[in-house]
Amino acid sequence: MSRSDGGAARLLGVVLAVALTAACAPSAAEPVPDPVASGDAAPPGAAAPAKSPVAPPPRPVALATDRARQSAGVVAHGGGDAPYNYAPTLLLEGGKHRMWWCSQLGAAQPGGDDVLYAESAGVDGPFTAPDGNPSTPVLSGSTAGFDAMHTCDPSVIRVDGTYYLYYTGAERDDHANGSAVGVATSKDGLTWTRAGQAIVGPSHDVLRDNVYGAGQQSALWLDGWFYLMFTDTTAEAAGWNGAGQFVLRSRDPLFASGVQALGRSGFQQVPDTRSRRTRSVVDAFSADWMYVDALQAFVIAHSTEEGTTLTFWNKDFTATPHPRVHIPGPWREGPGLVRTALGHAPVSPEDPCGRVAVDVVRATVQGPANAPTDLVHYGLDLADVPGCATKEAARALRGFAVPSPANTTDLVLDGGVVRVERRSVTDRLAVRVLDRRPPVVDHLPVVAEVPAGAEAVRAPDGRLGLVLADRLWVLGAGEVAAQVVAANSSKPTAVTEEVWDSYEEVGDLRR
């Protein structure tokens, strides 16, 4: 592959435009749950199992949209001699937008696709590298192995302090179904260590004219599972042109053990990541996804004639709870969703249960190198969302406070609430105090109460905590913790590390 033909993902090439146009046809693209896996059929001569009546899935609930938006122009570019820019992944961390994407810089060797990095205070940019340059290359070809020449299509999440970069690797320009998915780890998102060999390769179920292989992955983390969605042009359930998105999950970020594949009857244990792929969740290439806690649903962003289309799946992939939503505008490839570190939708500080902001950055033109470039931001809000309907969905409220029936306020934590007597204390503990109490909060237990003047302790390292019913609730160190203690009229007592450790530590009240 020459430096002018757009890197590893460009092997989709001729079929891409046709593929995505075809994917817009309802008969080809509309996801329809199929409850029976092709591998679950009874053996020849065996009696068919009795069928139990299955209730039809609930009718999809349409979502309203408002606040459509887009950037005034290009938000990020590789700079230097970078001929293309596409397939971004974005994390919203501490109010900063961090973006990794696929490009190619002559200074980064070998001469193949590179993963570039830049950051910005807002999604409209401009994105720049920490040193002030337009970007910095953070992952390039290894010169040996499956990713010898190309590293592209990054998807980044952070779990328990470790960043995971899932990327497409290729050892040469002539793919011959050689593209595969690799993973690298980092503590800062800038310096990466490869995990070694490819973790997902083509299944070779069916050989098609499109010889791309496996890649264009997107990762997220949910309830202890690493979920990986990806393209495999050799999959049994891919379209005639290789289009399709397949899902694996594992508790191991390297997918070396305990792998489950999404098939027609749900997730099932498989021997390895190359097992038959019998179900695609959307007929598309180059997709991204996130999990919306308030809706308990996955949202897949993929390109269609309408722009970026959002397809919804419930948590177990048995139904599409909402009709598709479209973010209009030009595109060429790679909608990258703005997501949290775990790959979830950012929670609206205005209305965590009823509003979801969906923002994507995507390549919008075919550049002089005959490859996608000009990264532009588009977005809208899902409005009047029927969110936080269950206890599980109520985790979208974590860190928010709501009015309490006891004429106080309730701070929502994971699975319960802390009842706080003074509003001035709540204001310092909560992300925001909502005007109305979502009904689901009535079903959460009160796990602690914070009366005015509650006992406070200070550890030798400066950490502060409140002792409630002989159990320790950590406030941490710093100005906010000190403000909480002062606002509650609690005078902290200095204790030894031994005394601090002797308390049963049950919760963390930090934002």
The partner residues of 289 in beta bridges, in order of sequence, read 300
Cα R_g (the chain), whole angstroms? 25
Would you write out the chain's pLDDT as a tens digit for each of its 511 residues?
A: 333 344 434 444 433 333 332 222 222 333 333 333 333 333 334 444 455 566 676 789 999 999 999 999 999 999 999 999 999 999 999 899 999 999 999 999 998 999 999 999 999 999 999 999 999 999 999 999 999 999 999 999 999 999 999 999 999 877 677 899 999 999 999 999 999 899 999 999 999 999 999 999 999 999 999 999 999 999 999 999 999 999 999 999 999 999 999 999 999 999 999 999 999 999 999 999 999 999 999 999 999 999 999 999 999 999 999 999 999 999 998 899 999 999 999 999 999 999 999 999 999 999 988 999 999 999 999 999 999 999 999 999 999 999 998 889 999 998 899 999 999 999 999 999 999 999 999 999 999 999 999 999 999 999 999 999 999 999 999 999 999 999 999 999 999 999 999 999 888 888 7
Give the residue among 205, 204, 202, 195 at the shortest CA–CA distance from 226: 195
Which residues neighbour 158 within 8 Å (Cβ) at sequence distance 6 or greater?
Answer: 91, 93, 164, 189, 341, 342
Q: Are 198 and 166 spatial neighbours (Cβ–Cβ below 8 Å)?
A: no
The torsion region of residue 286 among left (phi > 0), alpha (psi -120 to 50) and beta comes to: left
Distance (Å, rounded) from C-alpha 62 to C-alpha 155? 29
Distance (Å, rounded) from C-alpha 410 to C-alpha 378? 36
Q: How far is CA 386 from the centre of its chain?
A: 21
Classify 297 as helix, strand or coil: strand
Check whether the bond before 126 is cis (ω within 30° of 0): yes
Distance (Å, rounded) from C-alpha 404 to C-alpha 478? 28
Q: 330-346: buried (b, 16+ CB within 10 Å) or exposed (e) per residue?
A: ebbbbbbbbbbbbbbbb
Q: Are 350 and 434 spatial neighbours (Cβ–Cβ below 8 Å)?
A: no
